Structure 1
Amino acid sequence: MEVKNVKAFGTASAEEEELKTLAIQRRTATAHDVEIEILYCGICHSDLHSARNEWHNTIYPIVPGHEIVGRVTNIGGHVKKFKVGDLAAVGCMVDSCRECEYCKEGLEQFCDPGNTLTFNSPDKYLGGQTYGGYSQSIVVDENYVLSVPENLDLAGTAPLLCAGITTYSPLRHWKVGPGSKVGVVGIGGLGHMGIKLAKAMGAHVVVFTTSVSKTEDAKRLGADEVVLSTDPDQMSKYAKSLNFILDCVSAQHNIDAYLNLLKVDGALALVGAPMEPLPVTSFSLILGRRSFAGSNIGGIAETQEMLDFCAAHNITSDIELIGVDQVNEAYERLLKGDVKYRFVIDMASLK
């Protein structure tokens, strides 16, 4: 298999806190591959966790990035879904087993043997690890590449490949729509997308935040009501009133306080990923036949559905566009929550 050198931005070890320019190898397009010139790549908090080996599973060198939007520059001889010049996107995974029950159901995110992540996963073609979107180009099997609708802003589309599908999938799974009263907990990269999507689905959206300063922004994003979650009186007014809660908080917080806002048969789905266990009182579940669940991105077909839905409703992420030389600063700002609401790298700056 032929390979070529590609310029990328990553880190060679956990001791190197700062990312820098690296040379990596990409395979040339095989029969079913699509080669994509990367135009924009979003920054997800998991990029930072992985670059710094905070989940203790990083293989170095690492090139993060799984919110990728670009243009097709080459295709393999058997590719049917794309042609050169098409807008294309790649999300959190670039392959899966394709044989297990979940892959056959279009739930590749739950692939039984394990899917191949866009970065820091074993690379079955070249050996070593997969490299992500902080790079000039990427080569991916056409079955794991998404088509980008022409009317979407490309930079604002990049975060849809993670933050968008992460919030869209549970809203769809729990059948949010007209008549639903939905709570969204937290207004960050995930939460701001949850607000936009739930509102576009026709739900009445109630946003819960610890920051009074975010009230107006929540309403701008589409919230019908905003609740200060640190105020017991405000919280008590919403007891047993919600059909579904999308919990986007990645820090320790009181799950019982939100479970008690659900109606009978209501569900709370966790999409944030706190590092510490979240205690739950049994009666918060038992007394209302409530469900406490989790959700993890979406399959390829559902991700395409999400992009098409966003195109139909003119939804993209609120972003701050940066150059690759600002990535290290962006990581530090990300730790402080200092972004509204997603950093996106203009990959032309890598050249």
Structure 2
Amino acid sequence: MKQCPIDFFDPEVQHLAASAGCRLYRMQNDTGEGLISEYPILSGIDLFYNDFHMKDGQNQNKRPMPDTIEINHCREGRFECEFQNGDYQYIGAGDLSIHRLSHTTRQTRFPLAHYHGISITIDLPRAQQTLSSLEAIIGDLDIHLEAIAERFCREESCYVLRSNREVAHIFSELYAAPPERMAHYLKAKVLELLMLLNDLPQEPFSEKRQFFSRSQVTAVRAIHDAMIQDLSHHYTLAELSRQFGIAQTSMKLCFKAVYGNSIYQYMKTYRMQTARVLLQDTSRSVTEIAATLGYDNPSKFSEAFKKEYGISPTLFRNSPSELDVS
């Protein structure tokens, strides 16, 4: 996930290639790798396709840039940003965030170990001058970038837009942009997005995103690690709260922000995904797997597995291709 402009990427980000109006970058560390495709749209406006398969990103915004806004759309996964003041912020699948690059970031992470999305960075003075020059040729575009920034980035906050069909439609077309017409197509779609944001009311589609403290995020990560290390044990919320020193309300809110689901739903899904791996890659019996995953008896485990995947554990083991994973 970039923090504009590309020159502010860490030196470890490798420039791979440049062709047909696109520059390709690779980020690598011991948690995985990510690919970033940069497309200059207009002077002052750049678009980036982000494809990460890693847990830890890098500090990419080395200094505040209050005259630049960043629009991020998350297609899959989750993105975590840690600011220098110790606050954390998250966006998840379907979210569109808008914020000024006013704060330096300490670290970026991907809690689900993957992230796919689009970033658009806009240098407000330069981009508005570009739009003014364009209007002299094609007529009034009615795009006022500073007004967009003021509406959605008040008090230097990050706002998230959701549940808007027009926004979703524009980004679905950006993800499916035809390669042979990429350069011109992206210009048209980004201008369409800006015209939409110019007229889009802040409510009811936006919400002020909650920040979490470093101590809360650290506690939630420890909770996550403890739960997945011993799947045979079913922790209660009270037990987790007491053991890791975090209030239940804060724990539930922060866990969902970091991992995208409630503790109960996340662990239910994690157990079922682990069950699939154990059934397919080991010779352990269904009874043994059920006990490993914390089920009192194999019939309860079989019932839960079939409810999740529409197929019994035994049938899946014998015919894994029968499982519908769509």
Query: TM range, normalised to the smaller chain?
Result: under 0.3
TM-score of the aligned structures, taking structure 2 as reference length: 0.28
Higher percent of residues as helix? 2
Structure having greater relative contact order (Cα 8 Å, sep ≥ 6):
1
In the superposition, the TM-score normalised over structure 1's length comes to: 0.27
Structure label with greater radius of gyration:
2
